Structure 1
């Protein structure tokens, strides 16, 4: 079903899974913050591929199988450059029509989608799933689920790691998820209850190192990619979960409404719900969106179009799971 491929980003070699498709369309994918390509994309990539799309699912530099030293460091500027290199490489794949390339990501990487799509008006479509559109807002919310002393320790470790990086010291790592009171990136309820179940059930991806440099974790709290939404000229689907405590639904919803051709999809549940009980609804909505904009000659969506996914009646066709409401004002 897939083959390992490599492409160069800057002076680093990135590694990706290539799923050759049959319809000319291609979805370029990456996992969330410090989430490697297998736990971050496998579940959706397989469905996209089954529908005929090619998929290029890659690891950012410094993570997973991609090159780059030091390890477990995530820098926004470098990862955005990796997206540019991945999109360019996808256009060279023999079965891919360069005019039918879409991008997909979730969580912090979902936030990248706003900036990536704004930079690449030649893309056919973009999907931001439960994106972190406003780092400061998400960080303020996360403080509600962390103890003050642990928050101070987390900040201190990030500062020490940043200082150490100036003299070449190895990164000080923090877990991606932890209980309140521990030094971890996320201690929110949906991250604790759903993160491992969604991305690493039964320790399926035992090689995934669920840690990141403290300096990287501290910096992303200031990143606000939702501000690029108004510059996105391509069809953009933003899928949010209304009880998301990790990335927050409303900043992403506002960004979707600001995009000239944005579609907002709302689901009940927490941050990882699209990987869990709402997976079928999420993937069907995303596939319908990809079909419309990569394979059919459909008009662009109206500004601020809002889509609600509810319970699908058994006799209704998949395309009828979406109730379209045009936002007012």
Structure 2
């Protein structure tokens, strides 16, 4: 961490379940707060730093957290990531953000990408008073993502992965340690994802190798469960303003289900960018940031100004 970063953010922790989640708090100046988390097993630093700094520079408070079992958060066994626990971590993060000094509880926004981009849709369906929600290259349809994976994976490797996931799930019943698989690999590898763009991840999220402790693995049982997760089905129940940002050549989180989710949500905006899954972190970063900042300003700041003006 640079000295400038150290002055801009503070380590904090909040309770979720029977342990604590670790987070960075960037105190802002405009009263609004963006709550952020990374992809399925990606710690907060490589996942959120790039966007969190830009949001904070624009005056927003930011709370960027690690899920239980990931990064600096508590929780055992490590890298076993039930979706229900991650959703509960979002609930705890929302409550904690609302209590932060200088934060207006009525102006909270969620930001997630990839698997977390799906989570924020499901969480927002339960929290209609959220001021804004951003789902960036979200995985909102597990079966569609699985079809993309299987179209690039070799049959024997898929069988080996499934066997490992089943063995991991059975082993959990008798207290065995998790069987981990890499988050990404080449076709033929026993890995969670083998789509062409998934190998862009380390270079996009950690180009300078500043996070050598990032263990790029996940419990096989958790990876298998994600294949059946479809948070896009909750889009019609999201009453908060929702920004869905997709990339046209994304093969890790195919854009079709996310586009459909945006069409079903009552107050959604859709931004389509060229590029693959991690393009918003690399060649499309400025376009993504500007779209997201514009959305946040309109829904977290401009409406407040309109209310104040109408009261004069």
CA distance in 2, matches of 1:176, 1:40: 14
Query: Take 1:104 and 1:202, find their aligned partners in 2: how far apart are those partners?
Result: 24
Secondary structure of 1:189's counterpart equals coil
Aligned to 1:180: 187
Q: Corresponding residue for 1:258?
A: 264
In structure 2, C-alpha distance between the alignment counterparts of 1:141 and 1:248, rounded to whole Å: 8
Residue aligned with 1:282, SS = helix
CA distance in 2, matches of 1:48, 1:254: 27
Residue deviations 1:218-253, cap 9 Å, x none? 100000000000000000000000100001001000
- 1:162 is paired with a residue whose SS is helix
| Matched residue, 2:176 | 169
The separation in 2 between residues aligned to 1:50 and 1:202, in whole angstroms, is 22
SS of aligned partner of 2:212 = coil
1:1-150 to 2 correspondence within 5 Å? 1-150=8-157
Q: Do residues 291 (structure 1) and 291 (structure 2) align?
A: no
Is structure 2 residue 274 aligned with structure 1 residue 268? yes
Deviation track 1:33-75 (CA, whole Å, cap 9, x = no partner) reads 1000001100000000000000000000011111010001111
CA distance in 1, matches of 2:261, 2:241: 13
Aligned length: 297
- Alpha-carbon offset, residue 115 of structure 1: 0.4
Structure 1 length-normalised TM: 0.89
- Match of 1:144, SS? helix
Q: CA RMSD in A?
A: 0.7
C-alpha distance in structure 1 between counterparts of 2:301 and 2:106, whole Å: 10
Measure, in 1, the Cα distance between the counterparts of 2:90 and 2:279: 25
Residue 240 of structure 2 is aligned with which of 223, 227, 234?
234
Describe the superposition over 1:177-211 as per-residue Cα deviations: whole angstroms up to 9, x where unpaired.
Answer: 1011110011111112x211111113221111100
Higher mean C-alpha displacement, 200-209 vs 271-280: 200-209
- Matches of 1:130 and 1:290, distance apart in 2: 17
Cα distance in structure 1, aligned partners of 2:285 and 2:208: 18
TM-score by length of 2: 0.94
CA distance in 2, matches of 1:141, 1:208: 26
Pick from 261, 285, 288: which aligns with 1:282? 288
Q: Distance in 2 between matches of 1:275 and 1:137?
A: 23
How far apart in 2 are the matches of 1:272 and 1:172?
27
1:245 aligns with 2:251: yes
Give the unaligned 5+ runs of structure 1: 299-329
Q: How far apart are the structure 1 equivalents of 2:150 and 2:21?
A: 34
Q: CA deviation at 1:119?
A: 0.7
- The equivalent of 2:310 in structure 1 is none
